[in-house]
Amino acid sequence: MAFTSLILGLGNPGPQYAMTRHNLGFWAADALREQGQASRISSRKDVELFHLTLTGPARGPHLLAKPLTFMNLSGLAASYLCGYYKIDPENVVVMHDELDLPLGRIRIKRGGGDAGHQGLASITRELGAPDYVRIRLGISRPAPGRDVKGYVLERFPEYERAIAMRVAEDAARLATLFLTEGLETAKRQAGQINHTPPANPA
């Protein structure tokens, strides 16, 4: 079957990582699967892969994938899937956590650097081009002096978890909007999303 696009949600496999900040892309992929109609294609050990059907005028069908190779090897699944299903890099959408956005905000863009995100670096390296679409899900930066790697691998505290879930659900809707109405419409919608977290009760 020929697929129009590949949507990747980024994260790390295993229950110990499931609720961490770095797995927000996985949350968004799960939300997209629930919002559309998804059927599992394979049970490969290195990727969860679904045939995704969206409501509305979205071109399709689409592939939805969660790489299970750990974040810094995400590009291996992206490269394999693009090659096997003959999907061009410009038809790849990546949903990922973003330190440079506050929690509760989302942005979408095409191309750019990786800003130190190892998942994006791997995808760019393996695809040989940065011209895929990124849906950037804000997780906020840690306080000065805190270790960034440790921060992204921490679980969301309870007072942030509901905000993160709403962000994941909005990201899924934003991916659908991009596929149905294009990048500029999706950008405008993303700019209106702002779920302000409550103050840290601690």
Terminal C-alpha separation, the chain: 52
Nearest-angstrom CA–CA distance, 28 and 11: 10
Buried b (16+ CB within 10 A) or exposed e, 43-59: eeeebbbbbbebeeebe
- The beta strands (E) that lie in 114-155 are given as 133-138
Question: Catalytic amino acids?
Answer: 22
Q: How many residues does the chain have?
A: 202
Nearest-angstrom CA–CA distance, 33 and 26: 11
Residue 34 backbone phi and psi in degrees, to 5: -75, -30
Q: Provide the 3-class DSSP secondary structure of residue 199.
A: coil
Q: Provide the 3-class DSSP secondary structure of residue 7.
A: strand
